[in-house]
């Protein structure tokens, strides 16, 4: 590129100009490359991913002859378990939100129940993969026996505009579980997760506000997810409030057995998962499951759970608390629950 520098000068001028321009270009390229790298990494981890390739999913199965919703009845005690491996069914219950609220912990706690069968990964069917079709979605589900409940969790459903209409189309009887958490703490946790994968990300303050401590930037997903009342408005166009259970992310940490008990009641299940299944891990700062009989060690969530939060200035926290307060109060009114965030 240096040789293509000045077309109108002599040989000496050409060499000098080319050398100067090349040095300047190289000086500009380094910071530009760093900016592009950081933005690419942020988009990779902060923006929604793609639908997994069809080849990695189980083969599609024919559409069900029975209605997609099945009853939540329990097996009669004492009856022998059928030798059949069961059938793949559409989920009767979904954990639809929210990201960084405690959805993974809740799912793992519920999987202790013998009448709960849940998909371990997040299929993202109703937000990213809907064009694959319901037969493809059902093919992802674990096999269940009569009386068992099929579940999956994808926290981004709660903030996806099309998700409630699509879920209602699958079954208007679907039970919906939403784990919510103080939206300020949730936003910081969301940021911490992205920062752990994208070192060099702008500060929390720079992303949460426009122009320093100007207006709150609701275009940033970490802030927008916490507008629970707005998202719930969209869901109530398709499902009555009685189809929802709102789980406190804070109480899921302080009283996991109590919150899981509420979920079991909501699903029509016997309270099998109780306080005897939990112990508090002081290092991680949240509950873990006691080891099962014959197991080598207790079960805790992965190392990505319970990561320390970055320090956020108190002025930033207070501004966000004031911003969320009216939305929180509306959410309390809509759900009939005071989560105590204000």
Long-range contact set of residues 79-85: C-beta below 8 Å, sequence gap at least 24: 81/145, 82/145, 82/146, 84/145, 85/143
The span from the first CA to the last CA of the chain, in angstroms, equals: 61
* DSSP-assigned letter for residue 130: G
270 is catalytic: no
Helix (H) or strand (E) holding 248, with range, is: strand 244-248
* Token code pair at residue 78: 């004492």
Binding residue numbers for 3'-phosphoadenylyl sulfate: 100-104, 181, 189, 305-309
Tokens of 69: 């919703």
Contacts 24+ apart (CB under 8 A), 330-334: 330/229, 331/180, 331/228, 331/229, 331/232, 334/229, 334/232, 334/233, 334/236, 334/241
Cα separation of 42 and 120, whole Å?
Answer: 25
Q: Which two tokens stand for residue 196?
A: 């752990």
Q: Which of 100, 197, 276, 284 is an active site residue? A: 100
Q: Which two tokens stand for residue 112?
A: 């202790």
Start-end of H helices in the chain: 11-46, 103-110, 134-140, 163-170, 183-197, 204-208, 221-224, 228-235, 249-254, 256-266, 314-335
Which positions are catalytic?
Answer: 100
């Amino acid at each position: 590129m240096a040789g293509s520098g000045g077309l109108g000068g002599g040989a000496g001028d050409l060499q000098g100009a080319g050398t100067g321009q090349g040095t300047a270009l190289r000086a500009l390229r380094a910071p530009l490359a760093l900016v592009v790298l950081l933005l690419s990494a942020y988009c990779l981890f902060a923006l929604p991913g793609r639908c997994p390739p069809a080849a990695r999913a189980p083969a599609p199965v024919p559409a069900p002859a029975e209605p997609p919703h099945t009853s939540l009845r329990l097996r009669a005690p004492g009856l022998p378990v059928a030798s059949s491996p069961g059938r793949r069914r559409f989920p009767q219950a979904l954990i639809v939100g929210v990201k960084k609220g405690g959805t993974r912990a809740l799912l793992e706690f519920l999987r202790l129940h013998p009448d709960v069968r849940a998909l371990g990964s997040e299929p993202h069917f109703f937000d990213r993969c809907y064009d694959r079709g319901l037969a493809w979605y059902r093919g992802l589900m674990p096999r269940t026996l009569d009386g068992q409940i099929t579940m999956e969790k994808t926290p981004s459903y709660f903030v996806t505009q099309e998700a409630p209409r699509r879920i209602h189309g699958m079954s208007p009887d679907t039970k919906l579980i939403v784990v919510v958490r103080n939206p300020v703490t949730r936003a910081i946790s969301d940021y911490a997760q992205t920062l752990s994968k994208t070192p060099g990300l702008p500060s929390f303050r720079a992303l949460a506000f426009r122009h320093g401590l100007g207006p709150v930037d609701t275009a940033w997903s970490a802030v927008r997810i916490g507008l629970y009342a707005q998202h719930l408005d969209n869901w109530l166009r398709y499902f009555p409030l009685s189809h929802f259970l709102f789980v406190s992310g804070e109480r899921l940490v302080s009283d996991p057995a109590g919150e899981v008990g509420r979920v079991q009641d909501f699903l029509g299940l016997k309270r099998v998962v109780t306080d005897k299944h939990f112990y508090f891990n002081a290092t991680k700062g949240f509950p873990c499951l006691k080891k099962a009989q014959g197991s080598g060690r207790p079960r805790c969530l992965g190392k990505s759970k319970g990561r320390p939060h970055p320090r956020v200035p108190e002025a930033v926290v207070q501004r966000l608390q004031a911003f969320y307060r009216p939305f929180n109060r509306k959410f309390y009114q809509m759900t009939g629950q005071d989560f105590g965030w204000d």
